[in-house]
Amino acid sequence: MEGTMKQTSKLGRRLLLFPAPFHGHLNPMLQLATLLYSKGFSITIIQTPYNPINLTDFPHFTFCSFHNSLLESYSKSPPPDTVTVISSMDTCCEAFRDCLSQILRETAAADTDTDGCKEHIAALIADPMWKFVGSLTASINLPRLVLRTGSISALLVYLSLPSLREKGYLPARDNNLDEILPELSPLKVRDLPLEWPHHLLETFVRETETSHGVICNTFEELESYATAQVKRSLPIPIFPIGPLHKQSPTSDTSIWAQDQTSITWLNKQTPKSVLYVSFGSVATMSKAEFLELAWGLLESMVPILWVVRHGLIQGSEVNNSLPEGYLDMLGERGHFVKWAPQLEVLSHPAVGGFWTHNGWNSTLESICEGVPMLCQPIFADQDMNARHVSDGWKIGMKLEKGIKREEIARSIRKLMLEEGEEMRSRITALKEKATLCVKEGGSSYTSIERLTSYLLSF
Ligand code: UDX
């Protein structure tokens, strides 16, 4: 276990943050950390060896980094599937407990500051994917909040699973997959996380329900129905404080190096002409699927900026997956990178559409920049997010007929050249709401003030 030098806060309160070690969860947790630091809290981040944060990027935080041989081995070899990594997180219990004890000991032993006050640990903010954190913090009376990094609509679905089973929607059957769920419209049965292991969702719900409060990376105007329902179901404070990347003084919290040639290439393109293609940090696809995508993109004739990260193509890399002569055929019309500065890309005037897997961060970031989406959900909450985008907010369209090159090329042209304008005007209206909610008096601005006072009450 390693610690870094402790920085102390103006408020005499330290917050401990324990993110799940995935890019889409680390990013919002780091944005939250930066935001709460700017409010005067001092911050300690507890982290695993999987997707480690570069400590020098965040010199104002204290880190407690622990070892875990299983997660360490996943970092070195090609990563296993996400469910395997999530299940392995349970083996971190002892190391986390040791880390927590060390932080508590050090804080108790620390000197008083110049005002004669002693800093104390106000609370732990953890990702609800950690199975053991709730019982551990309860046993030492440490207040614990959770950070919901996905949508609040998905949280409502997880909370509703028992009633969906009682009402006979689940288990899903071949003949009910296209039924719209009346209390969760526009979601259909097929959008529910049917493949996701049940015990992981149970952990998530239990850790959320037993917490002292839920911080959500969303804004009320976007998910008003789900926010109201969740507030009704959970007898704990709910803080929709997103979009976190707009609230946080530092929105660039990517833990992977971002290829700036994305921007130099975009600078040469005409306004709204480029389709940005990225499927996030964990989703994978077969080589055959990747090939269909590649042909579809080529046949669409639209300029593309495509993120093909290491691990996206199962067992292969971009160089040996593209057909012979492909790059020559694409020519100047396409640009490949391993990881892009996504926030900068989405706000670039040349970008006219986003082909996305609809991870929640990507969905929210696209909304904040007013970029309509082509939705290709791959797993977990992505089907639900995509349904809200296409059938709820109507700011994107789903690839309904699967990954076929003709369908891909046709859908891209529809999004970029034919129906894009209507979607663009709807998403621009949402973008304005996202901009307003973080301004003084806005819903998320007010929510962060409530959260700050709440944290100061511990
Ligand atoms: C995962 C799950 O897949 C998703 O369903 C869940 O909602 C969050 O966790 P991930 O695949 O990482 O998320 O996607 P997403 O939530 O969209 O987050 C990706 C993040 O990486 C975004 O903040 C995006 O800006 C960033 N990113 C992505 C980059 O910085 N560069 C890139 O090239 C691609």
Dump pLDDT digits (tens) for 354-365. Answer: 999 999 999 999
Closest CA to 65 of 90, 98, 35: 98
377 lines ligand 1 (CB under 6 A): no
pLDDT at 7: 64
Q: Which domain holds residue 270?
A: 261-435
Question: How many angstroms separate the alpha carbon of residue 20 from the centre of ligand 1?
Answer: 13
List pLDDT tens digits, range 232-286.
999 999 999 999 999 887 767 788 899 999 999 999 999 999 999 999 999 999 9
Q: Is residue 219 part of a domain?
A: yes
Task: Supply the pTM of this predicted model.
Answer: 0.95
The answer to whether 1 touches 110, Cβ cutoff 8 Å, is no
193 lines ligand 1 (CB under 6 A): no
pLDDT at 439: 97
Shared domain for 283 and 300, answered yes or no, is yes
At residue 69, φ and ψ (nearest 5 deg) are -65, -35
Shared domain for 211 and 85, answered yes or no, is yes
Q: What is the mean pLDDT of residues 197-216?
A: 96
Longest dimension (CA), the chain: 71
Question: How many angstroms separate the alpha carbon of residue 361 from the centre of ligand 1?
Answer: 5
Q: What is the mean pLDDT of residues 399-403?
A: 81
Q: What is the mean pLDDT of residues 424-433?
A: 97
Q: Which atom of ligand 1 is nearest to the CA of 363?
A: 17
Q: Is residue 3 part of a domain?
A: no
The answer to whether 16 touches 122, Cβ cutoff 8 Å, is no
pLDDT for 399 beyond 70: yes
Shared domain for 46 and 141, answered yes or no, is yes
pLDDT for 56 beyond 70: yes
Shared domain for 183 and 85, answered yes or no, is yes
pLDDT at 255: 82
Q: Is residue 299 part of a domain?
A: yes
Q: What is the mean pLDDT of residues 108-136?
A: 87
**pLDDT-based confidence at residue 133 (cuts at 50, 70, 90):** very high
Shared domain for 65 and 129, answered yes or no, is yes
Q: Which atom of ligand 1 is nearest to the CA of 282?
A: 11
Domain count, the chain: 2
pLDDT for 165 beyond 80: yes
d(CA 257, CA 239): 31
Question: How many angstroms separate the alpha carbon of residue 23 from the centre of ligand 1?
Answer: 6
Q: Is residue 6 part of a domain?
A: no
Q: What is the mean pLDDT of residues 422-427?
A: 95
Q: What is the mean pLDDT of the chain?
A: 93
Percentage with pLDDT > 90 across the chain:
84
Q: Is residue 407 part of a domain?
A: yes
Shared domain for 314 and 445, answered yes or no, is no
Shared domain for 388 and 426, answered yes or no, is yes
Q: Residue 386: in which H helix or E strand, if any?
A: helix 382-387
Shared domain for 365 and 270, answered yes or no, is yes
CATH code, domain carrying 167 = 3.40.50.2000
Q: Is residue 38 part of a domain?
A: yes
For 184, 352, 394, the CA distances from 423, given in Å and listed in that order, are 22, 11, 6
pLDDT for 450 beyond 60: yes
321 lines ligand 1 (CB under 6 A): no
Shared domain for 49 and 68, answered yes or no, is yes
Q: Which atom of ligand 1 is nearest to the CA of 360?
A: 7
Shared domain for 183 and 267, answered yes or no, is no
pLDDT for 36 beyond 80: yes
Shared domain for 91 and 193, answered yes or no, is yes
For 17, 209, 212, 264, 381, the CA distances from 146, given in Å and listed in that order, are 9, 9, 8, 39, 18
Shared domain for 205 and 265, answered yes or no, is no
pLDDT for 379 beyond 80: yes
pLDDT at 349: 98
Percentage with pLDDT > 70 across the chain:
96
360 lines ligand 1 (CB under 6 A): yes
pLDDT for 41 beyond 80: yes
Q: Is residue 301 part of a domain?
A: yes
Q: Which atom of ligand 1 is nearest to the CA of 340?
A: 33
pLDDT at 251: 64
Q: What is the mean pLDDT of residues 310-325?
A: 88
d(CA 368, CA 343): 9
pLDDT at 163: 96
Q: Is residue 209 part of a domain?
A: yes
Closest CA to 217 of 194, 201, 240: 240
